[in-house]
Amino acid sequence: MPQPLRLGIAGLGTVGTGVLKIVRRHESTLTQRAGRPVSVSAVSARSRDKDRGVPLEAFAWEDDAVALAKRDDVDVFVELIGGDTGPALEATEDALALGKDVVTANKAMLAVHGQRLAELADANGATIRFEAAVAGGIPIIKALTESLAGNEFTRVMGVMNGTCNYILTRMENAGLPYDDVFAEADALGYLEADPTLDVGGIDAGHKLALLSAIAFGTQVDFDGIDIEGIENVTIEDIEQAADMGFRVKLLGVTQMTGRGLEQRMSPCLVPANSPLGQLENAMNMVVVEGDSSGQIVLRGAGAGEGPTASAVMGDVMDLARGIRTPTFGQPAASLRKATAARASAPAPFYLRMQLEDKPGALAKVAATLADAGVSIDRMRQYRHEEPSAPVLIVTHRTTRAAIDDAIAAMGQPA
Amino acid sequence: MPQPLRLGIAGLGTVGTGVLKIVRRHESTLTQRAGRPVSVSAVSARSRDKDRGVPLEAFAWEDDAVALAKRDDVDVFVELIGGDTGPALEATEDALALGKDVVTANKAMLAVHGQRLAELADANGATIRFEAAVAGGIPIIKALTESLAGNEFTRVMGVMNGTCNYILTRMENAGLPYDDVFAEADALGYLEADPTLDVGGIDAGHKLALLSAIAFGTQVDFDGIDIEGIENVTIEDIEQAADMGFRVKLLGVTQMTGRGLEQRMSPCLVPANSPLGQLENAMNMVVVEGDSSGQIVLRGAGAGEGPTASAVMGDVMDLARGIRTPTFGQPAASLRKATAARASAPAPFYLRMQLEDKPGALAKVAATLADAGVSIDRMRQYRHEEPSAPVLIVTHRTTRAAIDDAIAAMGQPA
């Protein structure tokens, strides 16, 4: 029997526990598929005594993730601690420096330090695998990096934060305002300790930054993403959008334009009968557009013990089989620095504004948009509330830059 | 610069031509991603002179696929000839015997000879990659074999023949009978030379047999599939299904039951608002259910030059990178012989029958079903045409065996 692949798992929350369960439950299947056993040598976590529903006696215990990563009996360091600094980063660096492969679910760490860590991995003959970091159980990293490696990508987009999608679909289905559903989600434990990570679009932005690097061969550029969260989406927006045949989704889009890489994460109107429009609750979906493949859509659970542990195990099984693609699909030194092309790809835009209820207000808006070169597809004034009237506008395809110009001009005296 | 991976491509139809175009168009990107160049040494096809819109001068020409596979300057044999016997099979065997990896889009060959070829590959340290054989551009083979390798699969199902899905959606959208749409599809060149391969469910069955082998670690068992094509689906079936909130799809389902492996390919009613129900025209969709991943849905083009060539190139790039998973995800010798469990997994069934328009006819049907243990969810007599009346029945969950018993009993004198 060939040597087992020996894991050291740091972090025993739901995902780490899920990985331990799979390794135990499917021991013989994993061995048959990988051609060698997959075993766990050691684990570390904040509390040793917590009951996780899975026995830990068979594994060595380390209080310190760094010590775990350095152990001689650990071939692969599985980082499930989280956070973009601290022990997760330190232990990852130490593992890579020793030439050990790292499997991680840590999107924040890779979005911030991805380029440096990928270079460190390359320099030491190691690789970082992070299927679990993006869209939970959906195998999007492998699809982009390997299955679709014969394509030039034109665009990648997706709904990659289940909490936001839950909030938006719950608002629509129950007709509830944002604040009520936010409170519900909080009570259900769906929100991160800092909820801005979710509803502010940061977490989904981290994921988008990783997809961009693979798809376009660019260095991870989280700072280059235009991020807008869902905090300002109102129930009126959702109801009006539904009335026009759309749903509101926190959509990430990355595409290479003539002016550079455009990455945005923002609430978008998508056709209600499209695959993205039909995505309900905490599900995730990623849409890849390749020049040969055409549009490939992947859908699945974006979080949770099973789906995320499944993604971690996919990476572990690859390493057990000797599959060691470079971190972002090509040597880190060959990744180009991205030029952030903000607001340049044309799209239709949705605007909601409160207009003073006096003659000429609407005319001024229309004229200002026209001056900025923005043409109007639909406009509706949907409720009359003295002293102001809410107006919705859906534009034809234009750029965010033109929209920003028009909005700035609207603030000026006529 | 490391040595290039040198391809020999047999078959220059749309897919082979598509592969040549990608290798030329993305030369530098492929090199960067694979860490080595991908080149074409030699090609073979039936006609050397046909204009394929891509220059062939740079490649050696072989009239014979077997000679191509054996060439010293061919590392990987790319088999795009098709057919389950003849030069495709012969050249594949010769390549494997020489320890050369094979990339193929040939579902028929693998469905019939898969186990033997996989054993031959293992014996010679080679592998067969066949992403392009199932669902065109959708990376389902890699997802099952690698990304989801930590899962035990409970069920895999999908719509995997674009021509059938085109015919069924066209019937529904245009309200046309089967024969008219079949003639349309024929005129458009959508049908195979032997259309039974498509509309008889054979082609989709070949694909399902391959998915079963990977998902359940069993030897390919095409003969174990219960196959029913779409030839007997009427516009009435489609309209009545739509009226009840369903769409008719040629659906392949494979699942491991207590009695063995159940594989079926047959027209099924699926909820109109489900991802499968919304799949239109020639698109394909595969749904994988893993014990950890939950339900993963993949959607994309099931055929065509670009998507299929994209899948071939995914396999080629894997081989260029040294990714060489065993043919069906584990050593061929470890694949168990499948016990075909026909008709054992419970499901609701849809029945359409012509009843004699006389007292007691419907009562007899209901009693016969009850005797067979089949309980009725919905029944409707939807049009009265002397001397017989069409009756539709949707049952509660039951087995195909019980349905078959009831149907047999209906033929008996009361």
Give alpha helix (H) positions in A176-327.
178-187, 196-199, 202-216, 235-243, 305-320
User: What's the average model confidence in pLDDT over B179-183?
Assistant: 96
Nearest to B34 by CA among B275, B259, B318, B274: B318
B413 pLDDT more than 60 = no
CATH superfamily of the domain spanning A140-301: Dihydrodipicolinate Reductase; domain 2 (3.30.360.10)
pTM: 0.94
User: What's the average model confidence in pLDDT over B195-200?
Assistant: 95
B414 pLDDT more than 60 = no
Q: How far apart are CA A177 and CA B372, in angstroms?
A: 52
Measured between CB atoms, which of A33, A292, A329 is closest to B149? A33
Predicted pLDDT of residue A384 = 65
Predicted pLDDT of residue B411 = 75
B50 pLDDT more than 60 = yes
B300 pLDDT more than 50 = yes
B23: CB partners within 8 A, 6+ apart: B7, B30, B38, B39, B40, B313
The three-state secondary structure class of A120 is: helix
CA distance A300 to chain B (A): 5
**Residue boundaries of the structural domains of chain B:** 5-133, 140-300, 350-410
| Strand ranges across the sheet with A225-227 | A225-227, A260-271, A246-257, A153-159, A283-290, A294-301, B294-301, B283-290, B153-159, B246-257, B260-271, B225-227
Q: Could you tell me which residues are beta bridge partners of residue A353?
A: A391
Nearest to B138 by CA among A389, A162, A287, A245: A287
Question: How would CATH label the architecture of B5-133?
Answer: 3-Layer(aba) Sandwich (3.40)
Which 8-state DSSP code applies to residue B330?
S
pLDDT tens across B380-395, in order?
Answer: 887 666 778 888 899 9
Residue type, A275: P
CA distance B291 to chain A (A): 8
CATH 2.60.120.10 correct for B140-300: no
When the candidates are 3.90.1300.10, 1.10.1200.10, 3.30.70.260, 3.30.160.270, the CATH number that belongs to B350-410 is: 3.30.70.260
pLDDT band with cut points at 50, 70 and 90 for residue B236: very high
In A, minimum Cα distance to B287 occurs at A299
Count CB neighbours of A10 within 10 A: 28
Most confident of B5-14, B273-282, B375-384: B5-14
CB contact under 8 A, B296 and A299: yes
Predicted pLDDT of residue B66 = 98
E strands in A220-306? 225-227, 246-257, 260-271, 283-290, 294-301
Count Cβ neighbours within 10 Å for each residue of B56-93 and write b for 16 or more, e otherwise.
Answer: beebeebeebbebbbbeebbbbbbbbbebeebbbebbb
CB contact under 8 A, A299 and B297: yes
Q: Return the structure tokens found at B374.
A: 């089949």
Which 8-state DSSP code applies to residue B333?
G
CB contact under 8 A, B137 and A294: yes
Q: How far apart are CA B295 and CA A301, in angstroms?
A: 7
CA distance B245 to chain A (A): 15
Predicted pLDDT of residue B359 = 80
**Stated length of chain A:** 414
Give phi and psi for B77, each to the nearest 5: -95, 120
Most confident of A6-10, B48-52, B192-196, B371-375: A6-10
Count Cβ neighbours within 10 Å for each residue of A232-253 and write b for 16 or more, e otherwise.
Answer: ebebebbebbeebebbbbbbbb
Residue type, B161: N
CB contact under 8 A, A317 and B35: no
Count CB neighbours of A85 within 10 A: 11
What are the average pLDDT values for consecutive 10-residue runs of chain A, which has 414 residues? Answer: 94 97 98 97 94 94 98 98 96 98 98 98 98 97 98 97 96 97 91 91 98 98 97 94 94 94 95 92 96 98 95 98 96 95 82 84 89 90 75 90 89 60
Predicted pLDDT of residue B390 = 85
B90 pLDDT more than 70 = yes
Nearest to B158 by CA among B52, B251, B51, B295: B251
Q: Name the residues of A annotated as catalytic.
A: 207
pLDDT band with cut points at 50, 70 and 90 for residue B356: confident
CB contact under 8 A, A330 and B151: no
- Identify the residue with better confidence: B313 or A366: B313
A170 membership: H or E segment, kind and range: helix A162-174
From chain B, pick out residues whose CB is under 8 angstroms from the CB of A18: 292
ipTM for the whole predicted complex goes beyond 0.90: yes
In A, minimum Cα distance to B15 occurs at A292
Predicted pLDDT of residue A413 = 55
Which 8-state DSSP code applies to residue A358?
S
Predicted pLDDT of residue A414 = 45
